[in-house]
Structure 1
Amino acid sequence: MYKFDDLGKKISEIDERIDALIAKTGLSYSEFAVLYTLAKDGRSTQKKISEEWLIPKQTVFNVCKDFRQKGLVQIGEQSVDKRERAIELTQKGRDAADPIVRASDELGERVFARLGEKNAEKLFSLLSRFCEICDKEIENTPGIQTKI
């Protein structure tokens, strides 16, 4: 299990770097997630943002409510799922999000350029393969009964 622990530590280290970038924006992780997603996708739903960024839907709702009061987002027509409303940035929201998205994207480009294309391909290939192996091994692992 120690290899999983090592992997978890490395993933946490990557998360810390992403958090450091987000901290430079002055936004919370949830606020960044909403702005970034809407800037990239044009429009989205609270559910999609929640699932994509692993944030509770209520948290996304609260961020959207706050952004709406600040004039950064508007609630559009209902999406395909009639229980969901589409959210999109206003012009004020786009003006606020654009430099944040640009800086984030440029950082990613610089990091992966320094890593090198072949190493980046290898990294993603190995991570994909790792997930495939985990899926198969978990599928083949019998249930574990506890006495709790």
Structure 2
Amino acid sequence: MSNLDKFEKQINEIEVVMDAWVEKLGLGYNHYAVLYSLATAENGQCTQKQICEEWWVPKQTVFNICKDYKEKGWIEFSESSTDKRERIMRLTEMGKAQAEPIRKKTEQFDEQTFARFGKKKTAQMFALLAEFCDICRTQVENMEIEKND
């Protein structure tokens, strides 16, 4: 097994654990992404585009979830002052009641998990991952591959 295979296996294991966490909260990944984004958004507001880019969720999926949440009375939309095509979303009081427990439980999970891992190892892990990502990016940019037509 190559190092890239081992790396991908570890990343996949982390994703399985995170999916189990989201499921324990009673949500699917996409619904979690929308609610958590809205609960933690700067100034309490964000756009569908921001959620799509941050969580790698398709635009149509985010649109459908937001439409459903609007119908439930959990979110409200307003026009962006800078881009009329963009709609700003924010949680309503009913939406906050749904999203706040998810935010709190996720923060608790985060704090406890990284406390157990330790500050030093956490800092090392993030520094190493950032360095590895830079190296991979450089390799992709510089590596020549012959194309067979």
Pairwise CA distance, 1:139 = 1.4
2: distance between equivalents of 1:64 and 1:131?
32
Contact 1:79 1:85 in 2 (8 A): no
User: What per-residue deviation string (whole Å, max 9, x for no partner) do you get for residues 93-130 of structure 1?
Assistant: 01111111100111011010000000000000000000
Pairwise CA distance, 1:25 = 1.6
Q: Among 61, 84, 97, which residue is 2:99 paired with?
A: 97
Pairwise CA distance, 1:82 = 2.2
Alignment of 1:83-94 (within 5 A): 83-94=85-96
Residue of structure 1 in register with 2:33 after alignment = 33
Residue of structure 2 in register with 1:19 after alignment = 19
Pairwise CA distance, 1:80 = 2.5
Q: Secondary structure at the match of 1:124?
A: helix
Pairwise CA distance, 1:79 = 5.0
2: distance between equivalents of 1:97 and 1:146?
51
User: What per-residue deviation string (whole Å, max 9, x for no partner) do you get for residues 27-61 of structure 1?
Assistant: 11111111100110111111110010000010000
Matched to 2:86, the amino acid is E
Runs of 4+ in 1 over 2 A off after TM superposition: 77-82
**Mapped pair 1:3 → 2:3:** yes
TM-score by length of 2: 0.94
Q: How many equivalent pairs are there?
A: 147
Q: Secondary structure at the match of 1:88?
A: strand
Residue of structure 1 in register with 2:84 after alignment = 82
TM-score by length of 1: 0.95
2: distance between equivalents of 1:146 and 1:108?
47
1: distance between equivalents of 2:26 and 2:8?
27
Unaligned 5+ residue runs, structure 2? none
2: distance between equivalents of 1:27 and 1:70?
16
Identity of aligned residues (%): 45
Q: Secondary structure at the match of 2:146?
A: coil
Residue of structure 2 in register with 1:129 after alignment = 131
Matched to 1:77, the amino acid is E
Q: Secondary structure at the match of 1:105?
A: helix
